[in-house]
Amino acid sequence: MRLPATSRALRASSGRWSIAARPTTIPRSIPIPSRPALSLREWSSTTIRRIPSTASPQKTQQSTLKIENEAYKTDEWTNTPDTILSHVGRRLYLDENHPLAITRKLIESQFAGPEFGNYSEKNPVVSTKNNFDVLGFPEDHPGRSRTDTYYVNDKTVLRTHTSAHQRAYFQQIARNEQTRPDEVGYTIIADVYRRDAIDRSHYPVFHQMEGAMLWKRPDNNPLSASKETAAKIMTDLQKIPSHDVVVEDPNPTIHDQRNPLQDKHHSAEEVEAVAAHLKRSLERMVIKIFTEASKAASNGGAEVEPLKVRWIEAYFPFTSPSWELEVFWQGDWLEILGCGVIKQDLLINSDVPNRIGWAFGLGLERIAMLLFNIPDIRLFWSRDERFLSQFRAGEITRFEPFSKHPACYKDVAFWLPPAAVTGGSAAGGAVPFHENDVMEIVRGIGGDLVEDVTLIDEFTHPKTARKSVCYRINYRSLERTLTNEESNELNLKVREKLVEELGVELR
């Protein structure tokens, strides 16, 4: 059985938390990633309850946080540092010559008007209600944990996915029913935030694009008209040009245990039609992207294999049945997006009870990294002209690395505090140890000068049962050569902070 995934997914990922649940919060062995992104990450099925910290509140906490000109009261849930807030408002996806904006445009071109409105959501501050509750995330879903999510306060987070806006956009479709009846779908682009590992394909701020499309059904007893609804959807399906790319899709659309029909609301026939429309729309989009990527790669002299894509079953709290789409790219299967048939309860709660439809979400950086051959996710945030001047609106070109500055590795080994149990968060002072808290400390001090952090050793003392871990921090600037003194100084601060905030004992 597949484990509950969800929006840990959809970003460039090293595959370190792959499909299997996290065994503990410390992975056993972490390969140093040699290439970006193999698999989507997901929240594990491990239960992490929402327990505010009982220990001392976060050390340097201010009583309010100012974000996009709005002041938010902080509390014991707050774990959003200024280093993260400094990214709010960059709006890279609107900078028309930026690779993220070029990628956005390419995808939007596949979801054009009048059926689709293309929108962006500038303010990343959303309620926990919109980010989790209305989407049906269970109370104990690990995605709600402060180890994974940046809380502004108890009731407010930096959105972890663009799905936080689904309800508002469904409501907009309902409101515009008279004035814009043709607009039955949307895309949204936005920056999203997750506490996470550090490596060349992970950054705590990244971008997602979400899309959805709805069809009307009769107000009363829609199931009795499901044949007509399905026929309408199939007519729309015929309008999407077909393609000749090989698609593996071995599973049935509906599977009672693994990928159930919402049988209270939908007939199998309707769901087959919605699924067929969804799959063809997304295949077409992905084929467009990868054809552009192959063109750019072959211009650059790289050998290009024929495109292969496959559908696999997935789980999201707000769709059923659900899938992920993977693409075979340069020797590996890459997870590109998550999608599914929207939960009817969500549509009912969003003023469109009389519609049925699909939704998808994808991570923009992963796609842009392979379209433009960008090797390190930090580059998207670079203000260096040697990076920015390489891209032009509407053009897919291969990134030419302007330098490769030397790496500077520093190892940090420490004993976990005796009370340490894995699974919780120390952010804000709670006792349990979580790897993301180490990442946050390193990021807070090293910022973009850290390329990756990997666990290279862990060990439990046979007599005392105390646990020791060793992380290797790779300091490397994208823009200049770091001196050994500089990285030593950063590393010293990291060591101090680990003791101060996590209560570890350095070795």
Q: Which residues contact 333 (CB under 8 A, 6 or more apart)?
A: 38, 39, 310, 326, 327
Residue 211 beta carbon to ligand PHE: minimum distance, rounded to whole angstroms = 8
Residue 179 beta carbon to ligand PHE: minimum distance, rounded to whole angstroms = 26
**Amino acid making up residue 330:** Q
Nearer to ligand PHE, 10 or 438 (CB): 10
CA-nearest of 196, 347, 310, 320 to 259 is 320
Distance CA 187, CA 113 (A): 11
340 lies in the binding site for ligand PHE (CB under 6 A): yes
Exposure string of 432-451, with b = 16+ CB inside 10 Å and e = fewer, is bbbbbbbbbbbbbbbebbbb
Nearer to ligand PHE, 108 or 451 (CB): 108
Kindly state the tokens that stand for 83.
Answer: 């280093």
Kindly state the tokens that stand for 88.
Answer: 């709010």
End-to-end CA distance of the chain: 41
- Of these, 104, 161, 280, 343, which contacts ligand PHE (CB under 6 A)? 161
Listed ranges 45-53, 348-356, 357-365, 370-378: which one lies at the site for ligand PHE (CB under 6 A)? 357-365
Cβ neighbours around 84 below 10 Å, total: 19
Distance CA 443, CA 429 (A): 18
359 lies in the binding site for ligand PHE (CB under 6 A): yes
Residue 471 beta carbon to ligand PHE: minimum distance, rounded to whole angstroms = 27
Exposure string of 152-184, with b = 16+ CB inside 10 Å and e = fewer, is bbeebbbbbbbbbbbbebbebbbeeeeeeeebb
339 lies in the binding site for ligand PHE (CB under 6 A): yes
Residue 169 beta carbon to ligand PHE: minimum distance, rounded to whole angstroms = 11
Kindly state the tokens that stand for 98.
Answer: 């930026």
Could you give the 3-state DSSP secondary structure of residue 280? Answer: helix
Exposure string of 319-356, with b = 16+ CB inside 10 Å and e = fewer, is bbbbbbbbbbbeeebbbbbbbbbbbbebbeebbbebbb
**DSSP state, residue 24:** S
Listed ranges 14-22, 59-67, 137-145, 334-342: which one lies at the site for ligand PHE (CB under 6 A)? 334-342
- Of these, 93, 116, 151, 360, which contacts ligand PHE (CB under 6 A)? 360
10 lies in the binding site for ligand PHE (CB under 6 A): yes
Nearer to ligand PHE, 190 or 370 (CB): 190
Determine the size of the site formed for ligand PHE (CB under 6 A).
15
Residue 426 beta carbon to ligand PHE: minimum distance, rounded to whole angstroms = 25
Listed ranges 73-81, 246-254, 359-367, 474-482: which one lies at the site for ligand PHE (CB under 6 A)? 359-367
Kindly state the tokens that stand for 71.
Answer: 């002041």
Distance CA 104, CA 188 (A): 10
Nearer to ligand PHE, 165 or 217 (CB): 165
Query: Which residues from 205-224 bind ligand PHE, rule CB under 6 A?
Result: 210
163 lies in the binding site for ligand PHE (CB under 6 A): yes
C-alpha distance from residue 264 to each of 161, 223, 420, 431 (Å): 28, 9, 45, 44
Nearer to ligand PHE, 340 or 446 (CB): 340
Nearer to ligand PHE, 363 or 503 (CB): 363
Listed ranges 3-11, 298-306, 375-383, 436-444: which one lies at the site for ligand PHE (CB under 6 A)? 3-11
6 lies in the binding site for ligand PHE (CB under 6 A): yes
C-alpha distance from residue 434 to each of 17, 22, 229, 335 (Å): 14, 12, 49, 26
CA-nearest of 221, 233, 216 to 352 is 216
Distance CA 450, CA 442 (A): 8
Kindly state the tokens that stand for 269.
Answer: 């026939």
Q: Tell me the CB-side half-sphere exposure of residue 398, using CA atoms within 13 A.
A: 11
- Interface mask toward ligand PHE for 300-329; x: CB under 6 A: ----------------x--x----------
Cβ neighbours around 275 below 10 Å, total: 22
Kindly state the tokens that stand for 53.
Answer: 């910290």
Nearer to ligand PHE, 319 or 487 (CB): 319
Listed ranges 169-177, 305-313, 355-363, 435-443: which one lies at the site for ligand PHE (CB under 6 A)? 355-363
Nearer to ligand PHE, 311 or 387 (CB): 311
Nearer to ligand PHE, 166 or 487 (CB): 166
- Of these, 4, 7, 185, 326, which contacts ligand PHE (CB under 6 A)? 7
Listed ranges 52-60, 298-306, 335-343, 486-494: which one lies at the site for ligand PHE (CB under 6 A)? 335-343
Listed ranges 4-12, 237-245, 436-444, 462-470: which one lies at the site for ligand PHE (CB under 6 A)? 4-12
449 lies in the binding site for ligand PHE (CB under 6 A): no
Query: Which residues from 465-494 bind ligand PHE, rule CB under 6 A?
Result: none
Listed ranges 26-34, 148-156, 270-278, 338-346: which one lies at the site for ligand PHE (CB under 6 A)? 338-346
Phi, psi of 505 (to 5 degrees): -110, 115
Which residues sit at the interface with ligand PHE, rule CB under 6 A? Answer: 6-7, 9-10, 161, 163, 210, 316, 319, 338-340, 359-361
